[in-house]
Amino acid sequence: MRLDKFVCKSTQLSRAQAVECIHAGEVVVNEVAVLVESTQVHENNTITLNAELLKPRPFRYVMIHKSVNTICSNVDEAYPSLFSALDLEHSDELHVAGRLDADTTGLVLATDDGRWSFDIIRPQQHCKKVYRVGLAQAIDEGQVMDLTAKFAAGLQLQGEATLTRPAQLIILGPQDVLLTITEGKFHQVKRMFASIGKRVVSLHREKIGEVNLDIEVGAWRYLRAAEVASFKREA
């Protein structure tokens, strides 16, 4: 963790205030004053600010039900940040593990534990994500078996050298499907359906790994211990 981030996570200081303290020589790491805010430190290091021992707040793991026309960012841009309407202290310390587009709704996981979030998004983890997809064009009954097989075999997306990983397609209705994927290419779900001539008109993430979305739109809750542990790195 960067030293300035550690100081912020251990105090009520802003990032700018933390940097000012570091430059002033007020922050000591293992009995040595460190003047560079980007210095990497560990939770086990002895770090003091003006001779007071710093102890970072515990890591947090949060589920958010993202509403439409919000963005997975800590600051408002063309659309408001999904954190803006949440009564969540120090939300600026959190980051999203697996972003959603502004027009996509559903399950978002946020944390201040970078190692944990990396284990979710790293390609080798093959973390399953389940999406409810609304289509502009109907799927005919005669297409169901063929499309299911195509998704299971992998699709060739425009601009990609390799096929997508095997995906599970479940047809709920002519224009309503469930899709489970284990990777996260740019706009992947929309591009997968575009490759078979179908346009996505609504997209909602229902599940990540073993964590199911179970809260109302715009709400949040802390993940349970078992949910946090379910994302342990595979060998």
Rounded to an integer, what distance in angstroms lies between the CA atom of residue 27 and that of residue 218? Answer: 39
Three-class SS string for the chain?
A: CEHHHHHHHHCCCCHHHHHHHHHCCCEEECCEECCCCCCECCCCCCEEECCEECCCCCCCEEEEEECCCCECCCCCCCCCECCCCCCCCCHHHCEECCCCCCCCEEEEEEECCHHHHHHHHCHHHCCCEEEEEEECCCCCHHHHHHHHHHHHHCCCCCCCCCCCCCCEEEEEECCEEEEEECCCCCCHHHHHHHCCCCCEEEEEEEEECCEECCCCCCCEEECCHHHHHCCCCCC
Task: Locate 95 and state its tokens.
Answer: 């980051």
Choose, from 92, 101, 113, 176, the residue flagged as catalytic.
101
146 is catalytic: no
Positions annotated as catalytic residues are: 101
